[in-house]
Structure 1
Amino acid sequence: MSATRRKFTRDDPESRRAALISATLRLMAGAGPQAATVRAIADEAGVSPGMIRHHFDTKDDLVNAAYGAHMAAQMEATEAAAGTGGSARARLARFVTASLMPPVVDPRTLSLWAAFIHMIRRDPAMRATHAESYLGYRDRLEQLIADALAEAGRTGDATRPLAIASNAVIDGLWLEAGALPEAFAPGEVTRVGLDSVGAILALDLGADEEAT
């Protein structure tokens, strides 16, 4: 047994499950999916390897749960930053801004995305998790867009294509900023994001102080 191996704990089931998910995410972010073996996950979480089977039918189920937890945390961070106060335009601007700042934009987050993304094509369960998280984000973005347009008196605009286009801009900036954060000046990515989404929607998302 390694001298650095953690002692097994007798936490409650939810805590052990969360520990296994966190351990999986740490290993995958640090060294890719190949590092997340059953033994390595158990050691990282401080539990016995058999505990993984106790909480998950297979390791693939654990990895899928880790992906879902990671994406849920990203969405929660974005929603928390957007908040509920202020104008609809301000809420949309805060949502876009939060989508392009830490902890959502981060080299570790990008590493996890790269580790998970290749699994989506071969694993139907992972694909379903990806679809749920992706469409959940896009649907939320669409609702914020609809609210902002309605506030501006534009209730007849088709919001689905606007949300798809806006999401594409956000995704592209997220990818570039996560891969090469040093290539951008402070605040540049969020400014470009707000200007670009604003141009798609024909709304000024940076006009008032509460928007940022």
Structure 2
Amino acid sequence: MTPARRKFTREEPETRRAGLIAAALDLLAEAGPTVTTVRAIAEAAGLSPGMIRHHFTSKEDLLDAAYRAHMARQTEGAERGLGPGSARGRLRRFVSASLTPPVVDPRAVSLWAAFLHMVRRDPAMRATHEETYLAYRDRLQALVAAALAEAGCAAAEAELRRLAIACNAVIDGLWLEGGVLPEAFVAGEIESIGLASVGGLLGLDLLEDTP
């Protein structure tokens, strides 16, 4: 009896592509860009080096996809638990999630450091960096605008942009310190400093936990 031919599905190429991205991220986080070669990525993913060319136009294309996937995961982590509720409460939860695990994580900082070097020399990755940065900042700006309007302190678009940039800078700095040296801070310290600092910039109390 002839064995039934295996049916290939559309998910299989997507699964292999995702596996290559995951392998690239693991190598970058653990060993850095120099060790993250085409051969090493393929071996870690359990595929032949030629499969990378099948799913990506180049190693740079794969690393750009990996960077995009990593940044999307970070933003999704910041948006976890937003849910319904007051505008102030939603902003508070967004800032809090941005400054707690799994967003604040030593591995995430290692990946950021690895990608930062590539962003400076690869135009495609620089474009991805700009796109993902603006996506997060625009999300933050929308939450800031809603919270200020709810408090009766609506601001013009230019001022909202300035505030979003400032708040994002505070979050980025604390995220970096918390990820690089987590043992230097007591539990909840990074989060509470971030909430107080962002709240101070906006003239809102974000430390009080309300819906």
Task: Confirm or deny a common fold (TM above 0.5).
Answer: yes
Give the equivalent residue in structure 2 for 1:79. 79
Match of residue 179 from structure 1: 180
Tell me, yes or no, if structure 1 residue 96 matches structure 2 residue 95. Answer: yes
Q: How does 1:1-212 map to 2 (within 5 A)?
A: 12-81=12-81, 83-157=82-156, 158-210=159-211
Instruction: For 2:167, give the aligned amino acid.
Output: S
Q: Distance in 2 between matches of 1:74 and 1:176?
A: 16
In the alignment, is the contact (CA less than 8 A) between 2:75 and 2:136 conserved in 1? Answer: yes
Distance 2:160 2:13 in 1: 43
The amino acid that maps onto 1:68 is R
CA distance in 2, matches of 1:136, 1:88: 19
Please state how far the C-alpha of 1:127 moved relative to its aligned partner: 0.1
Instruction: Using structure 1 for the length normalisation, give the TM-score.
Output: 0.92
Which consecutive aligned stretches of 4+ in structure 1 deviate over 3 angstroms post-superposition? none
Partner SS state of residue 33, structure 1: coil
Tell me the TM-score normalised to structure 2 length. Answer: 0.92
Q: Report SS of the residue matched to 2:34.
A: helix
Distance 1:209 1:60, change over 3 A: same
Distance 2:101 2:155 in 1: 35
Work out the CA distance in 2 between the residues paired with 1:16 and 1:104.
Answer: 26
Residue 5 of structure 2 aligns with which residue?
Answer: none
How far off its partner does 1:154 sit? 1.3
What amino acid sits opposite 1:163 in the alignment?
A: A
1:123, 1:55 → 2: CA distance? 20
Instruction: Supply the distance in 2 between the matched residues of 1:70 and 1:23 (Cα, whole angstroms).
Output: 12
AA paired with 1:188?
A: E
- 1:159 alignment partner, SS class: helix
Question: By how many angstroms is 1:179 displaced?
Answer: 0.7
Alpha-carbon distance in 2 for matches of 1:136, 1:194: 21
Secondary structure of the corresponding residue to residue 178 of structure 1: helix
The one-letter code of the counterpart of 2:187 is P
Deviations 1:121-152 (A, max 9, x none): 11000000000111100000000000000101
Distance 1:136 1:95 in 2: 14
How far apart are residue 193 of structure 1 and its match? Answer: 0.2
- Over aligned residues, Cα RMSD in angstroms? 1.2
